[in-house]
Amino acid sequence: MDQQITTKRTIVSIKGNHFEKREDSIAKEYPLTITLNGEEFATMVCSPTDLKEMVVGFLGSEGIVRFYDDDISSITIDESSGFAHVKLTKEYTIQQQFYSKRFIGSCCGKSRQSFYFHNDAKTAKTATSKTKITAEQCFHLMESLQRQSSIFQETGGVHNAALATPEGLILSRTDIGRHNALDKLYGYCLINRIPVRDKVLLFSGRISSEVLLKAAKIGVGIMLSKSAPTELALNMAEELNITTAGFIRGGRMNIYTHPERIILPDPVEKEEAGVNAGQ
C-alpha cells in the first residue's frame, strides 16, 4: 500500500512582529529506483503514492512500454527499500549513452534536458485529436481541479494534474514532481486501457517544454493550465499540433497554440448583452 503523501513537523511561524510554534503539513519526498529485468534504470524522486501507475506511465512515456499487458510481465514495488522491480516480457538493452542510471529530479531545472532530443524524438506524438471544448468548459474543469487540490492547499508543495473530457474530470493525481503527476495519469490509462487521444489534460503548474513533451507522449491534443507557458514549450506545441491555454483563473485565460479546438464565446452575443445591460 502506498505511503502517506504528507507528514507533520513543528515549525516557527512569523507574521510581522509576532511568532508562534505550530504544527505544519510537509510534503514527503521519496526516492524510487526502477530496475528493468534486474538492471538499474533510473531513480525518481516523487511523492510516495500511486507508485505502480507512475512507473508504468514513465516507462510508457520513454517508449519502453506500449501495452501494459503485452510488455510487462510483473512489477514488484518494495517501498521499504525504495525499489520498483519491473520484469519485461522481452529482452531489453539499456542504451547507456541515453539511460545509464539517470537521476530524474523532482524539481524544475536541468534534470532531463540532456536527453530531451534523443529518446523524446521517438516517443512524442503529433496530436490527432478531434476533440473541441468551449471556453466555459475550460473554466469549469480548472475550477474542478482546484477544488480537488487538497494536498496543495495543505502543503503548498505539490503539483496536480488531471485527465478529463470537456464535460468533467476523469481522474486526478498529485506529486511533488510535475512530470511524476503526469506519469501517474498515463500509467493509470495504460493499466486500465483508457484511450487518451480524445481527452483533455489539466495541469496546475507552468507549461514547460518538459511538461509539453509529456503531454505529447501521452497523446492528448489539448493542455490547460492555471499558470504560464515557456517559449520552447509553445514552439513544441505548434509543431506537435497541441492546443495550449494558460492563466486559466477568474474567468480569464490565454490561448497560445492551435486555438481551433477551443470554441470561443460569440462576440455578437457579448455585445448585445452589454447593450441590454446598459438600457
> In whole angstroms, what is the distance from residue 30 CA to residue 37 CA?
22
**DSSP calls for the chain:** -PPPSEEEEEEEEEETTEEEEEEEEEE--EEEEEEETTEEEEEEEE-SSSHHHHHHHHHHHTTS-S-HHHHEEEEEEETTTTEEEEEESS-----HHHHTTEEE-SSSSSTTGGGTTTTHHHH---------EEHHHHHHHHHHHHHT-HHHHHHS--EEEEEEETTEEEEEEEESSHHHHHHHHHHHHHHTT---TT-EEEESS-B-HHHHHHHHHHT-SEEEESS-B-HHHHHHHHHHT-EEEEEEETTEEEEEE-GGGEEPP-HHHHHHHHHHHH-
Q: Which cell numbers hold the place of 167?
A: 464535460
Residue 245: name the closest of 149, 156, 159, 166 by CA.
Answer: 166
Which one is catalytic: 46, 107, 108, 138? Answer: 108
Tell me how crowded residue 224 is: count the other CB atoms within 10 A of its CB: 26
Residue that has been written with the C-alpha cell 506500449 in this structure: 66
Known catalytic residue at 138:
no
Query: Would you please indicate which residues are annotated as catalytic (active-site) residues?
Result: 108
